[in-house]
Amino acid sequence: MKYRQILPTMLSALGLAIATVTVAIAAVPSPTPGQLQRYDIGTTYVSGVSSGGYMANQLHVAYSSVFQGAGIFTAGPYECAQGDATANTAQFACMKTYQARKTPAQLEQLTRDRATAGTVDPVAGLSGDKVYLYHGTNDQTVVQAVNDDLATYYRDFGSNVVYDRTSPAGHAWVSPLGPVACASTASPFINDCGNDPERAMLGHLFGSVNAASTTSLTGKLIQFDQRGYAPGGSAAAISMGDEGFAYVPAACSAGQSCRLMVTLHGCKQGYRYQSIGDTFMKDAYLNEYADTNNMIVLYPQAIAASTGTIVNPNGCWNWWGYGGDAAYAQHGGAQITAIMNMVGALRGTSPTPTPTPTPTAPAACTTASNYAHVQAGRAYQSGGVAYATGSGQNLGLWNVFVFSTLKSTAPGYWVKC
């Protein structure tokens, strides 16, 4: 068990006093290979940060009949990016506000039109749903005005919104376990601000919440194959990893009724992104609440991809329409379909996933200069640095003098040997 100090600062007339609160945590369990199976799921929620926050909103809007509420850290309203696959609208209107963006009223009408067409669930499903929003005052990646639009969007549909915008956080998921200073915006984008937004979020969504566990975690972190849940059986083709994860407390495995929380990492936070690994799952401070509140946490995984029509070097969730997926925010969207298939497997409402392909012989390794790798499509360059296509792994300088050895683990997905 590890102990981390949470140091909220308190000012008084006598000077600076520091109150120390010790949070006991157990490292996230090592992944246990397995499959998603049916549990006794009562209610289902979704949460996420940044691109995962945008995707959480898309899931909630598209399937409000399934999700009873949402917790979203630093993201904007539904369809803000307007399907602009170049990501210009996403970057300059829905993260920064250099360009004009659709108003909440316009996006609400778009949602109503889609509900009428049957491509998202009826908007009445959002009325009364509990929504928790969080945005830090030092977050200049997704500015507050955009996050404010999300609050307006939900409130106009009758959702019960709690919106915390007083924290000095940078652009991040905020957690008592965060390794990053509160006001910073830095990898792995999990910040410690001396508070506990997870307790606030879950307390609002559930109505009440038991304190987080301070002993060793009871459950298992199941590592499952995402490919069978993806349309066509290829997760890599839609910028998702081959592996996904679900934290299942012992009580849920024993048959007790449990909640389900789908939690979506942000850009540069996925399991396969460079050296991130299990950091988000470990430090998000959800497993500790899962144990004491009978909550399964599903952690789907997006990956970096820069091949064909997909330009997603940072492993973001699809909230602007990359890959030519016109339905990315609706029923039938590729990533939405994959995630909903996982939710269905856990709830016992979807068929057995598509069998994954039979494993092939290990891929051969190719050694070449970084310049040659880029020319052959095994890598791409940005700012004079070469990155492996698909995985986004840093290969070093893009020139004919620096050599790397790569192999392909899926179509359009290259990793270091």
Domain range summary for the chain, segments of one domain joined by + = 27-347, 366-416
CA distances from 407 to 304, 362, 378, 412, 414 (A): 16, 9, 9, 10, 5
Whether 50 is catalytic: yes
CA distances from 169 to 191, 205, 356, 370 (A): 7, 22, 41, 38
Conformation bin of residue 237: beta by default, left when phi > 0, alpha when psi is -120 to 50: alpha
CA distance 307 to 394: 16
Helix axis angle, 144-156 relative to 104-117, nearest 10°? 50
Whether 216 is catalytic: no
Residue 176: asked if its preceding bond is cis (omega within 30°), the reply is no
Q: Which residues are CB-contacts of 383 (< 8 A; sequence separation ≥ 6)?
A: none
Whether 60 is catalytic: no
Residue 386's pLDDT is what?
84
Is the pLDDT at 17 greater than 70? The verdict is no
Strand-strand pairing, 9-12 and 295-299: unpaired
Q: Which entry of 51, 121, 135, 171 is annotated as an active-site residue?
A: 171
170, 136 contact by CB (below 8 A): yes
Q: Which entry of 47, 50, 167, 175 is annotated as an active-site residue?
A: 50
DSSP 8-class letter at 61: H
Is the pLDDT at 385 greater than 80? The verdict is yes
Phi, psi angles (nearest 5°) of residue 276: -70, -45
Residue 1: Cβ within 10 Å count: 10
- Please state the rounded mean pLDDT for residues 397-409: 82
Which residue is listed with tokens 């360009």?
Answer: 99
Residue 351: Cβ within 10 Å count: 8
Query: What is the share, in percent, of the chain residues with pLDDT greater than 70?
Result: 88
The answer to whether the pTM exceeds 0.85 is no
pLDDT tier, 387 (very low <50, low <70, confident <90, very high otherwise): confident
Residues 78-129: tens digit of each pLDDT: 999 999 999 999 999 999 999 999 999 999 999 999 999 999 999 999 999 9
Residue 408: Cβ within 10 Å count: 17
Q: Which entry of 139, 192, 225, 242 is annotated as an active-site residue?
A: 139
